[in-house]
Amino acid sequence: MDELHWAVQALVAALLVAAGLFTLVGAVGMLRFPDFFMRLHAPTKATTLGVGGALLASMVVGWSLGRHGLHELLITIFLFVTAPVSASLLAQAAIHLGSPSRAGQSPGSHD
């Protein structure tokens, strides 16, 4: 296996750390938010950026080793197109089923 340049290693490490932090924020948000609609927001935004960062790091490694990174690019495009669509469909289904929302309430109220 070829040895990567230190600058490429640092860039990949930074991308993976950022991806991990976004994914952690998305997971914590999904656990902490009070209702379905707020819980839906956390993974569709933060976790999508986390997976995108990991795929970008994979693309950088591939490019530095002389590969084109087409697979990672296609996965990234698919992820960024399908995540908002699936979130919208889940939200529409929850609205149709009459799922309660706490939007507009203060954080401490539990009415």
Q: Identify which has the larger pLDDT, 41 or 16.
A: 16
60 backbone dihedrals φ, ψ, rounded to 5°: -65, -45
Q: Domains along the chain?
A: 6-97 (1.10.287)
What global pTM score does this model have?
A: 0.76
Confidence of residue 3 (pLDDT cuts 50, 70, 90): confident
Q: Helices 48-64 and 6-32 sit at what angle, rounded to 10 degrees?
A: 170
pLDDT at 29 over 90: no
Q: Is the dihedral of CA 21, 24, 28, 33 positive or negative?
A: positive
| Cβ contacts of 74 within 8 Å, gap of 6 or more | none
* Strand runs labelled E in the chain: none
The whole-number average pLDDT for the span 25-48 is 85
pLDDT at 11 over 80: yes
Terminal Cα distance for the chain, rounded:
60
Per-residue pLDDT tens for 57-111?
Answer: 999 999 998 888 888 889 988 988 888 898 899 889 989 998 887 766 655 555 5
Q: Give the pLDDT score at 79.
A: 87
Q: Give the pLDDT score at 84.
A: 86
Radius of gyration of the chain (CA): 18
